[in-house]
A = this chain, B = another copy of it.
């Protein structure tokens, strides 16, 4: 497909099957996070030892909840923008495959953070890896949706100015993750907290809400 045909209406495939692949990969990636939480092996006759061993796994629980919520937030944002598309083209499919590649690898940095969160000497490196994975994901997410916007894949009844405003706000992500990687050696815990708050912020206060009226249909 010619990349120079920006003026003409883009060739489009129905979005249904890409949705199925995207939803499948998101669902599997977040569900695989649980495999990182291993059963503690306790050889004791004291129930309190098993309780202690279970509590001792708190970094795994925190990493599970945080990563699950971050991936969930990406799914919601993807869902909301995807809903505004009138179709997809070949390059958009490829960009989505690349996004999914970045989503599906997240159980790995998640497991590394869970493993080293308690180790003051090593958690900086774990936070940096987590930041790199999030930076790559954020850059691909930005590229995907800017492409959709510039190629005119969004529905005609959606205000382009609102789309641009949403997409511009997404530029915060890569900047924060790049800064977080740079600072992960000094303040890994603070960096991880910021990594978590960023998508949460998008969820509750983000500019996506500003186009709600444009694409949410009233009941019945």
Contacts and interface: CB of A to CB of B under 8 A. Distances in A.
Contacts of A75: 21, 97
Interface string A29-40: 111111101011
B28 A219 contact: no
- Taken together, the copies of this chain in the complex come to 4
A35 B32 contact: yes
A187 to B, nearest CB: 13
A209 interface: yes
Interface in A186-211: 203, 209
B50 A105 contact: no
A165 interface: no
Contact of A50 (B39, B44, B100, B126): B126
B111 A45 contact: no
Contacts of A14: 83, 217
Interface stretch (A62-70, A142-150, A166-174): A62-70
Contact of A217 (B1, B12, B83, B152): B12
Interface string A4-39: 000001111110011111011111111111110101
Given A34-B108, A45-B122, 19 more contacts: A11-B213, A12-B217, A12-B219, A17-B83, A21-B75, A27-B27, A29-B31, A29-B34, A30-B100, A35-B35, A39-B115, A47-B185, A49-B122, A51-B128, A64-B101, A65-B101, A68-B97, A68-B104, A76-B93
17 contacts: A11-B213, A12-B219, A17-B79, A19-B20, A24-B24, A34-B106, A37-B105, A41-B115, A42-B122, A47-B125, A50-B116, A50-B125, A50-B126, A51-B125, A69-B101, A87-B219, A152-B219
